[in-house]
Amino acid sequence: MKTIDFKWPLNIKSGSTHAGFKPDEQLDMCWVVSDSPASAAGVYTTNQFKAAPVQITKKTIELNHQLQAIIVNSGNANSFTGDEGIQNVYNSKQLVTNKLHLDDTLIGVASTGIIGKQLDMNTYQNGVDNLELSIDDIDAPEAIITTDTCSKKVCVELTLKDKPVTITGFSKGSGMIHPNMGTTLSFIVTDANIAGDDLQNLLSEDIVSTFNQITVDGCMSTNDMVLVMANGAAQNAKLVPDCDEYVEFAKAFKYVLETLAKKVAQDGEGANNFVEVNVNNAFDKQEANLVSKAIVGSNLVKSMIFGKEANWGRIVQAIGQTHAHVDPNHVAISLNGTEIVTNSVPISFTDDELKALFTDENIIIDVDLNVGNASGTAWGCDLTYKYVEINAAYEG
Amino acid sequence: MKTIDFKWPLNIKSGSTHAGFKPDEQLDMCWVVSDSPASAAGVYTTNQFKAAPVQITKKTIELNHQLQAIIVNSGNANSFTGDEGIQNVYNSKQLVTNKLHLDDTLIGVASTGIIGKQLDMNTYQNGVDNLELSIDDIDAPEAIITTDTCSKKVCVELTLKDKPVTITGFSKGSGMIHPNMGTTLSFIVTDANIAGDDLQNLLSEDIVSTFNQITVDGCMSTNDMVLVMANGAAQNAKLVPDCDEYVEFAKAFKYVLETLAKKVAQDGEGANNFVEVNVNNAFDKQEANLVSKAIVGSNLVKSMIFGKEANWGRIVQAIGQTHAHVDPNHVAISLNGTEIVTNSVPISFTDDELKALFTDENIIIDVDLNVGNASGTAWGCDLTYKYVEINAAYEG
């Protein structure tokens, strides 16, 4: 498996445009379309107020795990918009059907942006009218962002029994990031040949230790969704669980999910620092994930990283707030590779030595709980003035 | 019941001093002592890493629900300090015993400040040496604060069958405020005559809808504790559950707890605005409390209030993130008395009209869930640059 420049897999085309949801000619709409129906899988926000496109797309995929096109707009989330919002998703599908002559059960719809405003369907129609299909238009990652400072994308290539397979993924997300079972908006397309239910199992399993392990602000969006399409154009022998090629594909697929998840955390609203928390020797995997996410999500830990203070008591506080098994006398904590607490006792450093641990803009916190042998990792960012500024001003 | 100027109840004396835990002659130690053993009750943090004084004081009170003295230092939390920290609590008790000739099972010990540093017992001894006992020293509320911008105290007087009874309470807390079953450091003394177990029941019941309903930053301290002493000096007939006087006392007692809780939320680190969230017509009381606390604790809602943007989609997002019963089509939201969403549909306002809803520095959000008839309230504050600044710099 190797990372390559962003491109679409075989028999996948895309288009992007400015429909008018965002100001100033910014790209705010895109679609990604397979030449033929593709195996599909999705995971969705567990927020009880699921946005209209999440509700409908979930139903579409659960029908027979197939999709041929995904259409996405940014600038309006079509969330908390009642029956009219639902109708607008069906109307969106109809517009795509009319233009591409696809069955509407093969169309996935996603939206992101402000909550509680009806989608302007004239603008939407304008977007669909403008959208073209090309293997060369790779601007879809730009078209789905909102408060993001950059697009998030990744492309890997692997060879399965002489057949080159491409996996291409892109995500948006910067605030309201605290996914649970679902995630921020992410789309992955591949030309691999794999059944829809196997793709769903793979996604549902990997999401737990990738997107569900990032947090920017503890707030779970109403629109979170990850959709995957696999159109089989690579003509590899169909991937069967546990065969060597399946394992290889699964590894590459997880790499794509993890890379996108980390890119979202890295671009957390207002963030100066990307933070990775590894919890080792936890009671079980679930607790390792729980504790690492609790630490990376703590406002006090996040402020401490912004301030470059090795205020490790706050790490302890965040661990203890969870229900995970702990041994108060045997916790060890390292900051960027330097152990600062061992057997629950702080190691003596000068203030300057501690400050020096923060010189890298990637901060890695390792915690050893010494109660078992499970490990887990979570990713996030620091809490800055800028986060407050963005969210005090943003109308979304 | 009426609120009166801060004073100690009958047969309660206090003292405060600068021991040396905080710089610049700031008060950092106090005690509150009853002339005779008093009925006592406590609630404690549910953080798994309970600080040494929390562990020991919990044991002391559970012994026979009696206390005669409470001693508190600020500037060092004696938390995550291992066996030496526990021993230092016993040593603290011994110093009090030596000076006041009290049984050490009648002494409650509390600490607040930085986590993970051993208590300097020379400083502690210096403090105990300095402490005096007076009915006129009312500086204890000043002596227990850390990042607080002001002390939090309340005093009420009521008459129970011709006997005047005083309830005096004081609290500290500004950050790491997200209590659960326990709370920030708070102390309540009264001259009422009430059995220790009745006092405990009252406290345990009232804490759920008072201190457990405030949040500043979602971070639960290792040192949270509320202690109550009732010495009976008012000579009222012993309060028996459900008698008229008990009900009257309970009402005043809850008022004291709620007032202190709100004062802590109001002084949230860096806060510009005090926020109250009332959730009505919830499925049950527990869900009403859950949803109100979820809204008041959301970083996005808190940033929105700082920015004076009526970005109500974030309120919806916070509701849906909980597991409470909801009806997506019948949510109503009011901001400082003006309904802005009805039956889940936004009411049309100009931007200026919405901005005008934020002119008061107390922000009240009312949510109607329309799924039952239970109500609950939670209190918090906005998220400001100042919060980040304080916690980037504070070594605690």
With a cut of 60, say whether residue A180 has pLDDT above it: no
CB contact under 8 A, A388 and B391: no
Give the integer Cα–Cα distance in Å for B310 and B307.
9
3-state secondary structure at position A230: strand
Strand-pair partners of A107: A69
Q: Say if residues B39 and B238 touch (Cβ distance below 8 Å).
A: no
Q: List the pLDDT tens digit at each of the 396 positions of chain B.
A: 899 999 999 999 999 999 999 999 999 999 999 999 999 998 888 787 888 999 999 999 999 899 999 999 999 999 888 899 999 999 999 999 999 999 999 999 999 988 888 999 999 999 999 999 999 999 999 999 887 888 889 999 999 999 999 999 998 877 666 554 444 788 899 999 999 999 999 998 888 888 888 877 666 677 778 889 999 999 999 999 989 999 999 999 999 989 988 888 888 777 788 899 999 999 999 999 999 999 998 888 888 888 887 788 889 888 988 889 999 889 999 999 999 999 888 888 888 888 888 888 899 999 999 999 999 999 988 888 777 777 776 554
CB contact under 8 A, A312 and B116: yes
3-state secondary structure at position A51: coil
CB contact under 8 A, A217 and B300: yes
Give the integer Cα–Cα distance in Å for A123 and B223.
55
CB contact under 8 A, B313 and A80: yes
Cα angle: A324, vertex B391, A344; to 5 degrees: 40
Instruction: Sort out which chain A residues have CB atoms less than 8 A from B116's CB and list them.
Output: 312-313, 316, 341, 346
Q: Say if residues B175 and B391 touch (Cβ distance below 8 Å).
A: yes
Give the integer Cα–Cα distance in Å for B278 and B260.
18
Q: How confident is the model at residue A237 (pLDDT cuts 50, 70, 90)?
A: very high
Give residue B225's pLDDT: 85
Strand-pair partners of B239: B194
Q: Which residue is catalytic, options B183, B210, B215, B377?
A: B183
d(CA A105, nearest CA chain B) in Å: 25
Of B392, B236, B182, B381, the closest CA to residue B297 belongs to B381
The residue among A263 and A143 whose pLDDT is bigger is A143
With a cut of 80, say whether residue A128 has pLDDT above it: yes
Give the integer Cα–Cα distance in Å for B86 and A148.
48
Complete DSSP assignment for A256-289 = HHHHHHHHHHHT-TT-S-EEEEEEEEESSHHHHH
Contacting residues for B24 by C-beta, under 8 A, at least 6 apart:
none
Domain with CATH 3.60.70.12 in chain B: 2-266
> Tens digits of per-residue pLDDT, A277-286?
999 999 999 9
Give the mutation candidate from B224, B290, B321, B371 for the A interface (greatest A CB count, under 10 A). B321
Query: Helix crossing, B121-130 with B82-100: angle to 10°?
Result: 20
Instruction: Sort out which chain A residues have CB atoms less than 8 A from B217's CB and list them.
Output: 299-300
Domain with CATH 3.10.20.340 in chain B: 274-393
Instruction: Name the H helices within A147-238.
Output: 196-209
Nearest residue on chain B to A308, alpha-carbon basis = B392
When CB atoms are compared, the residue of A115, A308, A395 closest to B317 is: A115
Mean of pLDDT values over A32-51: 88
Token representation of residue A112: 């992101």
Q: Say if residues B51 and B118 touch (Cβ distance below 8 Å).
A: no
Q: Which residue is catalytic, options A168, A183, A210, A384?
A: A183
When CB atoms are compared, the residue of A114, A319, A392 closest to B307 is: A392
Q: Amino acid identity of A268?
A: G
Complete DSSP assignment for B278-312 = EEEEESSHHHHHHHHHHHHH-HHHHHHHHHT---T
Nearest residue on chain A to B307, alpha-carbon basis = A392
Strand-pair partners of B167: B156, B190
Give residue A396's pLDDT: 44
Tallying the residues shown for chain B, one arrives at 396
Instruction: Sort out which chain B residues have CB atoms less than 8 A from A51's CB and list them.
Output: none
Lay out the sheet containing B345-346: strands in order across: B345-346, B338-342, B332-335, B362-368, B274-282, B374-381
**What separation in angstroms does the CA of A43 have from each of A46, A151, A388?**
9, 21, 29
- In degrees rounded to 5, what are phi and psi of residue A14? -145, 165
Residue with tokens 């009745």: B198
CB contact under 8 A, A115 and B344: no
Cα angle: B191, vertex B197, B199; to 5 degrees: 40
**What separation in angstroms does the CA of A110 have from each of A159, A225, A226, A355?**
31, 8, 10, 44
What is this model's ipTM? 0.71
Would you tell me which CATH number, out of the four given (3.20.10.10, 3.40.920.10, 3.10.20.340, 3.40.50.300), belongs to the domain A274-393? 3.10.20.340
Domain with CATH 3.60.70.12 in chain A: 2-265
Mean of pLDDT values over A180-188: 66
Of A214, A84, A210, A70, the closest CA to residue A140 belongs to A70
Q: Is A146 annotated as a binding residue?
A: yes
CB contact under 8 A, B344 and A393: no
Q: How confident is the model at residue A142 (pLDDT cuts 50, 70, 90)?
A: very high
3-state secondary structure at position A59: helix
State which H helix or E strand residue B361 sits in. none
> Tens digits of per-residue pLDDT, A324-335?
999 988 999 999
Instruction: Sort out which chain A residues have CB atoms less than 8 A from B388's CB and list them.
Output: 303, 306, 383-385, 387-388
Of A103, A94, A116, the closest CA to residue A34 belongs to A103
Q: Is A269 annotated as a binding residue?
A: yes
Give the integer Cα–Cα distance in Å for B131 and B108.
16
Query: Helix crossing, A385-393 with B385-393: angle to 10°?
Result: 170
Instruction: Sort out which chain B residues have CB atoms less than 8 A from A395's CB and list them.
Output: 309, 311
Give residue B184's pLDDT: 74
CATH T-level assignment (fold) for domain A2-265: L-amino peptidase D-ALA esterase/amidase (3.60.70)
Q: How confident is the model at residue A176 (pLDDT cuts 50, 70, 90)?
A: low
Instruction: Sort out which chain B residues have CB atoms less than 8 A from A367's CB and list them.
Output: none
Is A97 a catalytic site residue?
A: no
Residue with tokens 């603008």: A123
CB contact under 8 A, A82 and B115: no
Give the mutation candidate from A83, A84, A112, A219 for the B interface (greatest B CB count, under 10 A). A219
**What separation in angstroms does the CA of B150 have from each of A16, A380, B153, B154, B172?**
55, 33, 10, 13, 9
**What separation in angstroms does the CA of B206 have from each of A90, A274, B251, B253?**
50, 41, 10, 9
> Residue A87, CB half-sphere, CA atoms under 13 Å: how many?
7
Residue with tokens 């008072």: B210
Q: Say if residues A106 and A68 touch (Cβ distance below 8 Å).
A: yes
Give the integer Cα–Cα distance in Å for A296 and A217.
10
CB contact under 8 A, B116 and A316: yes
Give residue A43's pLDDT: 87
Residue with tokens 């420049």: A5
CATH class for domain B2-266? Answer: alpha beta
Token representation of residue B138: 């009312």
Residue with tokens 């809808």: B209
Cβ count near B122 (within 10 Å): 10
